Amino acid sequence: MKELKVFLNKFATLAEPDAFVEAFSIIKKIKKKDFLLEPGVNCNYLAFIRKGTFRVFFYDQEGVEVTVWFSWEGMLVGDLLAFYKKSKSIFYVQAIEESELSIISREKLEDLYIVYPDYLQFARKYAEHVSVNVMERLLTLQTKSAEERYLELLETPNFLQKIPLKYLASYIGITDSSLSRIRRNVR
Amino acid sequence: MKELKVFLNKFATLAEPDAFVEAFSIIKKIKKKDFLLEPGVNCNYLAFIRKGTFRVFFYDQEGVEVTVWFSWEGMLVGDLLAFYKKSKSIFYVQAIEESELSIISREKLEDLYIVYPDYLQFARKYAEHVSVNVMERLLTLQTKSAEERYLELLETPNFLQKIPLKYLASYIGITDSSLSRIRRNVR
DNA sequence: CGCCGAGTTGAACTGAATCAAGAAACGTGG
DNA sequence: CCACGTTTCTTGATTCAGTTCAACTCGGCG
């Protein structure tokens, strides 16, 4: 899997890249709208997206669907919050389109860290990368208007057609009606 | 420094805890309202707070002060976003009260990872911990009302008297007038 | 003692939410 | 491959949470 090596190399250049690829041994296909995860289940694994797009979401106190994250080809997906907290899953992880995954269990990942301690560099760099991403999103949400947040979102590549607007709206913390109005003004 | 070992043990139990303590060799005292960091400078270090309280903030597009983080005794402080991105600092890091720090440079930290690869466990767990924190804050900001955010903030220990309300307001993404009104309703 | 920063309050304003209705696009089965 | 039903997107009218800005109080510090 060349893609997995490319992914790995974004975070650390290691002596045994093949070990990484081998560890992602479970292959899984998921149909559009099907779930990789639902709240309350064990989520002791991460999935590398070979093909497809995912969104991570949950229902808030009032039962409103809140999209918290997207992932595309070449990225990891899963309930990262629960994974790091070692708790049961909190979120739904749903395929937005027909998708293909390579899965690694927490166990195998930890084994990798024991056999090749270098791989801890990957774990570290990946977590740091996640931190940076989430911090930047927090700042955007805390300081920018809905319209600015939408424009910022448009800058991100990958945000082509695949994702329905209502999910994008929720992702930037607004309703779909509001996003629709913003789009009218912007265009 | 017992406190540093206690801190380290929250993330990883390592064979050579003294190496950690020794690496935080630079001691620095900071007076109330003085800055550990200002935007645009090198911030290739992290600081352990032996005593005191800090806030991390910046000025947004309109020149409004935005508080993005607080740190207390027994925590690390610094411009973590810039530290992870290896960029120049973005934020002000200011002492809210008379404070005392033990500082470690990125260099020394990286040396530690080379000499004792185990320490990568610390780097990893710490970054994961930061991710979890920021994700949870993002969720709160995205889904809860100003009043709910304030009440949630009150749950956090440490939020005693030390921090002026206007900073707390900014931290939860509202103005000080709004916080004042919320407090009137809640009490 | 006087001043300055922190907190509160009021009145007017505004960005975004809500709710409901209609139009457009999508996909699924016949 | 068309027709129908379901989502998705848009739009209008109204409401509401939180902002803005200015004025006033209070408490602590120099």
Residue whose token pair is 């093949």:
A18
DSSP-assigned letter for residue A13: -
What is the three-class DSSP state of A56? strand
Both structure tokens of A142: 């805390």
Q: How many CB pairs below 8 A link A and B?
A: 82
Q: Give the domain extent around A107.
A: 2-124
Sheet with A35-37: list strands edge to edge: A35-37, A92-95, A53-59, A65-72
User: What pLDDT is attached to residue B159?
Assistant: 67
Examine residue A103 and state whether it is found in any structural domain, yes or no.
yes
Determine contact, residues A102/A37, Cβ cutoff 8 Å.
Answer: no
Examine residue A175 and state whether it is found in any structural domain, yes or no.
no
Measured between beta carbons, the chain A residues lying within 8 angstroms of B118 are 117
Examine residue A17 and state whether it is found in any structural domain, yes or no.
yes
CATH code for the domain of B51: 2.60.120.10
Residue B160 scores a pLDDT above 70: no
Examine residue A86 and state whether it is found in any structural domain, yes or no.
yes
Q: Report CA torsion sign: B134, B140, B143, B149.
A: negative
Angle at CA B162, nearest 5°, toward B160 and B163? 95
Chain D bases near protein CB atoms (7 A cut-off): 7-13, 17-22
CB of B65 less than 8 A from some CB of A = no
Strands B45-51 and B35-37 come out as: unpaired
Neighbours of A48 (CB within 10 A): 24
Examine residue A83 and state whether it is found in any structural domain, yes or no.
yes
Examine residue B77 and state whether it is found in any structural domain, yes or no.
yes
Q: What is the largest CA-CA distance in chain A?
A: 56
Examine residue A169 and state whether it is found in any structural domain, yes or no.
no
- Please give the nucleotide, over all strands, whose C1' is closest to the CA of residue B180: C8
pLDDT tens digits, one per residue of A59-114 = 998 899 999 999 999 999 999 999 999 999 999 999 999 999 999 999 999 999 99
> Which of A61, A120, A134 is opposite residue B120, by nearest beta carbon?
A120
For the whole prediction, is pTM greater than 0.75?
yes
Of all residues in chain A, the percent with pLDDT exceeding 90 is 87
Integer angstrom CA distances of residue B48 from B3, B106, B127, B134: 9, 13, 15, 19
CA distance to partner chain B, nearest, from residue A104 (Å): 18
Beta bridge partners of A55: A70, A94
Number of domains forming the structure of chain B: 1
Question: In this structure, which amino acid lies at residue B88?
Answer: K
CB of A115 less than 8 A from some CB of B = no
DSSP-assigned letter for residue B179: H
Residue whose token pair is 């810039």:
B82
pLDDT tens digits, one per residue of B70-123 = 999 999 999 999 999 999 999 999 999 999 999 999 999 999 999 999 999 999
Examine residue A93 and state whether it is found in any structural domain, yes or no.
yes
What is the three-class DSSP state of B184? helix
Question: CB of A147 under 7 A from strand C?
Answer: yes
For residues A162-176, give the mean pLDDT.
95
User: What pLDDT is attached to residue B80?
Assistant: 98
Question: CB of A173 under 7 A from strand C?
Answer: yes
